[in-house]
Structure 1
Amino acid sequence: MSEAIAVYKQAEQGSSLWQDAWHRLQKNKLALCGLMVLILEIILALLTPWLAPYGYEQQDLALGAAPPSMEHWLGTDTLGRDMLTRIMYGGRVSLMVGFIATAVALLIGVVYGAVAGYMGGKVDALMMRLVDILYALPFMIFIILLMVIFGQNILLLFLAIGAVEWLTMARIVRGQVLSLRQQEYIEAAISIGLGPWTIIRRHIIPNTLGPVIVYTTLTIPSVMLLEAFLSFLGLGIQPPQSSWGLLISYGVETMEEYPWLLIYPGLKLSITLFALNFLGDGLRDALDPRASKD
């Protein structure tokens, strides 16, 4: 009887989109595992200066590239630097690049696509033609020019990558908005006098979260790989700093002689990508506004 009363009170009070999403996400075990892995990696990245067994610049040239041992659990690179320490510090950079650059791309792309799709007509045509023009530009050259003109600053690297990754996000959001703006609840919001910006913020953007989350899980690893390519060209992370992408690029060059230099950073990046994919799939289902309330 008490359970029935509790259910009745909950139904009477209602619940928000985020509360419903959290309840649905809790039922997805793989998504929760992915979330826990990401949380642990973020905590580890924050605590790396205190947990790392060696300094990331500390070298032992006499030791050179040594396989895993009791002193160096994941071995050392060709300069005698501890690989566990390098991977831990590299995780700080890779996660920062992935999340901050993706956040910049999301902020620009979601707002731009939502405005273009909802306004429609000439406004939509003008805004999307601008996107087409930017798509035609070689974005890699654009990033390289920014890095050359303004210097090799890690914050600029985040902003530069995010500034070119928003184009696909804008197109995805616009396509979703074109189908959403004809829905009955949008017409009802217009009929009660809500303004365009209020409708976009309260009704349009929340209902595009599913595709946005899915694309976000693809953007973060692509941003990490883009950072690795820039670092390989000498325009990204500079030694003695490291990132997972930079360690993998270095490991590929020496994989025949020292395979552990590729295996361990590659395994770390793979675990992160799996966690992001599992979490992204779970969030897509949990944030789907068409899902029935449990």
Structure 2
Amino acid sequence: MINKENTISKDMFAPAHVDPSKSEKIAKPSLNFWQDSWFRVRKNKAAVVSMVILVILIIMAFVGPLLSPYASDTQNTKHNNLPPRIQGLEDVHWLPFDGTLTRRDGAVYNAYEVRKIDAYYWFGTDNLGRDLFARTWEGTQVSLFIAFMAALIDMLIGVSYGAISGYLGGRTDSIMQRIIEVIVGIPNLIVVVLMIIVLKPGIMPIIIALSITGWTSMARVVRGQVLKFKGQEFVLAAKTLGASDTSIIFKHMIPNMFGVIIINTMFSIPSAIFFEAFLSFIGLGLQDPHSSLGTLVNDGFVSMIAFPYQMIIPSVMIALIMVCFNLVADGLRDALDPKMRD
């Protein structure tokens, strides 16, 4: 006996109704290159967290000195070498903000109570009684300014030099590459020493010294990209339409290299910060009363055993900035490089 529920009717074989207006509808929203890259960066949690930390550090570099009740260059020898002390956290002994120090024999004492000082220094003071909170953020501001200026100059010079060298080619390219090889062979430290001999120690000699030799890597990368693009169809079409060489380089080729340029610039910023800190640490950087993170580390190194916070705080700041910039650059490389796409 045939069950009516299991019978197959002819209605089941009727063709599906298709709406012609929706046949070519794209379900996923259309994204341009930068929107797609930002979507990929957001999937990299380390890069996003590093961006947030960098934004906070940059804001604090300008706002931090204003939050402190003490000026960064005001000396108060009666308050010298005081440890960090923050109001509201001084009773939390497992945090390093209770104003205590450890003697060489291991005894712990409260420096503020022993010296009868009723004040709060959030990052402590140095050997001249200057507030380290204000000096640390001003030093961060100076270090970031030097790094960004050096990276900007490296980008402008390196992109222009590399693009012209790769596009012209031939003997011109050979001569320009030999010049780069000569510049690469000059140690940065010698250039810095010469700049300081010619000019007074300060921010500008450091930026000039970093810029003299720092643009060569960018120039080589851009030259390689230009050599790759030079024979492609969009360049040949621009030549056919009568575009000038300058227009082809700066309006057609360089916009197609923005990803590579941004990545190399981001990687050059932490290198510039580290080199500036190294120069300041060996005494070739800024001079008092100006400060950078490198000069603060140099000052704290002298009294590292007795007052370790004077060196630890700026050292942690340098490490944090360098790690965050490297993680952001790594995330941008994964997002902007087509070969890294999943």
- TM-score bucket (shorter structure): 0.7 to 0.9
Residue 278 of structure 1 corresponds to 327
Residue 131 of structure 2 corresponds to 82
The 5-angstrom pairing of residues 167-206 of structure 1 reads: 167-206=216-255
**Is the 2:51–2:324 Cα contact (8 Å) retained in structure 1?**
yes
Q: In the alignment, does 2:80 pair up with 1:31?
A: no
Q: In the alignment, does 2:171 pair up with 1:122?
A: yes
**2: CA distance, partners of 1:119 / 1:106:** 20
Structure 1 position 195, deviation (Å): 3.1
**Is the 1:210–1:285 Cα contact (8 Å) retained in structure 2?**
no
Structure 1 position 234, deviation (Å): 4.5
Structure 1 position 179, deviation (Å): 2.9
**Is the 2:260–2:336 Cα contact (8 Å) retained in structure 1?**
no
Gaps of 5+ in 2: 1-18, 87-119
User: Which of the residues 157, 180, 185 maps onto 1:131?
Assistant: 180
Give the aligned CA root-mean-square deviation in angstroms. 3.0
Is 53-62 or 260-269 further displaced after alignment? 53-62
Secondary structure in structure 2 of the residue aligned to 1:31? helix
**1: CA distance, partners of 2:245 / 2:37:** 26
* Residues 4 and 271 of structure 1: CA distance in aligned 2, closer, same or farther (over 3 Å): farther
**Is the 1:209–1:288 Cα contact (8 Å) retained in structure 2?**
no
* Residues 114 and 69 of structure 1: CA distance in aligned 2, closer, same or farther (over 3 Å): same
Structure 1 position 192, deviation (Å): 4.3
The 5-angstrom pairing of residues 26-105 of structure 1 reads: 26-70=42-86, 71-105=120-154
**2: CA distance, partners of 1:213 / 1:291:** 16
Runs of 4+ in 1 over 6 A off after TM superposition: 3-6
Residue 290 of structure 2 corresponds to 241
Residue 142 of structure 1 corresponds to 191
CA offset digits 1:106-156 (Å, max 9, x no partner):
110111112212221112111111111222334433333233323334234
* Residues 17 and 163 of structure 1: CA distance in aligned 2, closer, same or farther (over 3 Å): farther
* Residues 232 and 274 of structure 1: CA distance in aligned 2, closer, same or farther (over 3 Å): closer
Residue 266 of structure 1 corresponds to 315
Q: Which has the larger radius of gyration?
A: 2
Q: Which has the higher helix share?
A: 1
**Is the 2:282–2:298 Cα contact (8 Å) retained in structure 1?**
no
Gaps of 5+ in 1: none
**Is the 2:72–2:135 Cα contact (8 Å) retained in structure 1?**
yes
* Residues 119 and 52 of structure 1: CA distance in aligned 2, closer, same or farther (over 3 Å): farther
Q: Percent identity?
A: 39
Is 254-263 or 94-103 further displaced after alignment? 254-263
Aligned residues: 289
Structure ranking higher on relative contact order (CA contacts 8 Å, 6+ apart): 1
* Residues 110 and 52 of structure 1: CA distance in aligned 2, closer, same or farther (over 3 Å): farther
* Residues 97 and 6 of structure 1: CA distance in aligned 2, closer, same or farther (over 3 Å): farther
Structure 1 position 78, deviation (Å): 1.7
CA offset digits 1:206-232 (Å, max 9, x no partner):
343444333323322222232234334
**Is the 1:231–1:246 Cα contact (8 Å) retained in structure 2?**
yes
**Is the 2:158–2:218 Cα contact (8 Å) retained in structure 1?**
yes
